[in-house]
């Protein structure tokens, strides 16, 4: 695909599966502000000529540091009352990638994933080994208590009670499998990158790892397309969702919006899963398909104007005010294919 010069673009997400009745006005305001800050930080790096990889990292760090998102500081708890975090990043220009899984003492897993990509011959490190690598390059470890928030702790307690009563979790099909954060960017050199970070799912067991750190499932980028996914990870792994979208764009020349909608809104639901994704191509086209009642999302396209949105019925941003005001369509930003 021939890449003409295009303005830089940044798209972010803070997870799909928004449950409207649990979203208080105060929390919604805080989330919109955090999304706007992530866009601001990432876009400042874009305008400064930083690489797409650096831009993705800068945006995701903001969301990892905010306890309202299930990544970094706001990560959910495992069944055993611990926090196990995953992250991945991929440079579309070189197709180099880095990922970490099951880390418990890394405040910003996306930065460690980037270090794996840039400082080792490997793609994925896990658990204590990943943390030992972090120490070897001077990255500080945080005390596990850093990740504890009362909201996440109470979510675990509720799930544990349901476990002991033999009841299915009330939130299994709505909130349990969602909350990942991610970003995709197109830099001033026309290069793409994608990154994703997550705390996984509430009450997860046995070292479960979802799609976020798996290159091709929850995170993927090449020279034509970049994708970061959010949703029920097992289904994104089974469909190799992020890679499937980009292969349609790269090899079959399917328009980005159509490719993303087919995978996210057709293939994954057909297997029983749900969720969303953000996707970006080398021409600056954006796709934000999702099939839940909401998705925390934001973007700055060629207009240079930031937009954020949460609910499924927000408009497409064509006449929306700057962030943190709402600006998206029902599950498909920027006039996406249905």
| CATH number assigned to the domain comprising residue 19 | 3.60.20.30
Pairing of strands 124-126, 96-103: parallel
- CA–CA distance, 306 with 308 (Å, rounded to integer): 7
Q: Which residue has the higher pLDDT, 315 or 194?
A: 194
Tell me if 330 is assigned to some domain.
no
Residue 140 has a pLDDT of: 95
Residue 41 has pLDDT above 90, yes or no: yes
Residue 197 has pLDDT above 80, yes or no: yes
Tell me if 135 is assigned to some domain.
yes
pLDDT digits (tens, 9 = 90+) for 74-103: 999 999 999 999 999 999 999 999 999 999
Active site residues per annotation: 180
pLDDT digits (tens, 9 = 90+) for 152-184: 999 999 999 988 887 655 444 444 546 799 999
Residue 57, classed as helix, strand or coil, is helix
Tell me if 333 is assigned to some domain.
no
Tell me if 321 is assigned to some domain.
no
pLDDT digits (tens, 9 = 90+) for 98-150: 999 999 999 999 999 999 999 999 999 999 999 999 999 999 999 999 999 99
Contact 218, 212 (CB under 8 A): yes
Per 3-state DSSP, the chain is made up of helix, strand and coil in percentages (nearest 5) of 35, 20, 45
Residue 130 has a pLDDT of: 98
Residue 21 has pLDDT above 80, yes or no: no
| Segments forming the whole domain that contains residue 277 | 9-311
- CA–CA distance, 338 with 331 (Å, rounded to integer): 9
Tell me if 120 is assigned to some domain.
yes
- CA–CA distance, 219 with 116 (Å, rounded to integer): 15
Tell me if 187 is assigned to some domain.
yes
Residue 315 has a pLDDT of: 55
- The sign of the torsion formed by the CA atoms of 137, 143, 146, 147 equals positive
Q: What is the DSSP string of 97-141?
A: EEEEEEESS-S-HHHHHHHHHHHSS-SEEEHHHHHHHHHHTTPPP
Task: For the chain, give the number of residues.
Answer: 338
Secondary element (H or E) of residue 181: strand 181-186
Tell me if 220 is assigned to some domain.
yes
Q: Which residue has the higher pLDDT, 220 or 324?
A: 220
Percent of all residues in the chain with a pLDDT value above 70, rounded to a whole number: 87
CA 184 to chain centroid: 9
Residue 19 has a pLDDT of: 65
Which residue shows structure tokens 């270090």? Answer: 115
| pTM, rounded to two decimals | 0.90
Which residue shows structure tokens 């955090």? Answer: 34
- Count the domains in the chain: 1
Residue 2 has a pLDDT of: 40
Residue 321 has pLDDT above 70, yes or no: no
Cis peptide upstream of residue 266 (ω within 30 degrees of 0): no
| Distance between start and end Cα atoms, the chain | 25
Residue 220, classed as helix, strand or coil, is strand
Q: What is the DSSP string of 18-29?
A: --GGG--HHHHH
User: Among candidates 314, 294, 239, which has minimal Cα distance to 14?
Assistant: 294
Tell me if 269 is assigned to some domain.
yes
pLDDT digits (tens, 9 = 90+) for 243-277: 999 999 999 999 999 999 999 999 999 999 999 99
């Amino acid at each position: 695909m021939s890449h003409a010069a295009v303005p830089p673009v940044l798209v972010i997400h803070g997870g799909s599966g928004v449950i409207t009745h649990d979203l208080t006005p105060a929390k919604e305001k805080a989330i919109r502000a955090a999304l706007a800050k992530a866009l601001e930080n990432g876009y400042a790096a874009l305008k400064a000529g930083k690489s797409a990889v650096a831009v993705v990292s800068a945006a995701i760090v903001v969301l990892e540091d905010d306890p309202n998102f299930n990544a970094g500081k706001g990560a959910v708890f495992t069944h055993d009352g611990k926090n196990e975090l995953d992250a991945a990043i991929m440079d579309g220009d070189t197709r180099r990638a880095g990922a970490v899984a099951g880390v418990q003492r890394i405040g910003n897993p996306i930065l460690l994933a980037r270090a794996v990509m840039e400082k080792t011959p490997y793609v994925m490190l896990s658990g204590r080994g990943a943390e030992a690598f972090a120490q070897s390059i001077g990255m500080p470890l945080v005390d596990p208590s850093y990740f504890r928030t009362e909201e996440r702790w109470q979510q675990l307690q509720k799930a544990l009670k349901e476990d002991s009563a033999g009841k299915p979790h009330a939130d299994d099909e709505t909130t349990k499998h969602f909350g990942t954060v991610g970003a995709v960017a197109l830099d001033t050199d026309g290069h793409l990158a994608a990154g994703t970070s997550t705390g996984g799912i509430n009450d997860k067991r046995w070292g479960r790892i979802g799609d976020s750190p798996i290159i091709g499932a929850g995170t993927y980028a090449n020279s034509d397309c970049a994708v970061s996914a959010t949703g029920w990870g097992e289904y994104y792994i089974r469909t190799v969702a992020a890679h499937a979208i980009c292969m349609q764009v790269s090899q079959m020349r399917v328009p980005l919006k159509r490719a993303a909608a087919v995978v996210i809104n057709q293939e994954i639901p057909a297997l029983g899963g749900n969720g969303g994704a953000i996707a970006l191509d080398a021409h600056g086209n954006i796709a934000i398909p999702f099939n839940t009642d909401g998705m925390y999302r934001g973007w700055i396209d060629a207009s240079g104007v930031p937009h954020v949105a949460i609910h499924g019925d927000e408009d497409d941003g064509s006449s929306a005010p700057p962030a943190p005001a709402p600006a998206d369509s029902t599950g498909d930003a920027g006039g996406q294919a249905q």
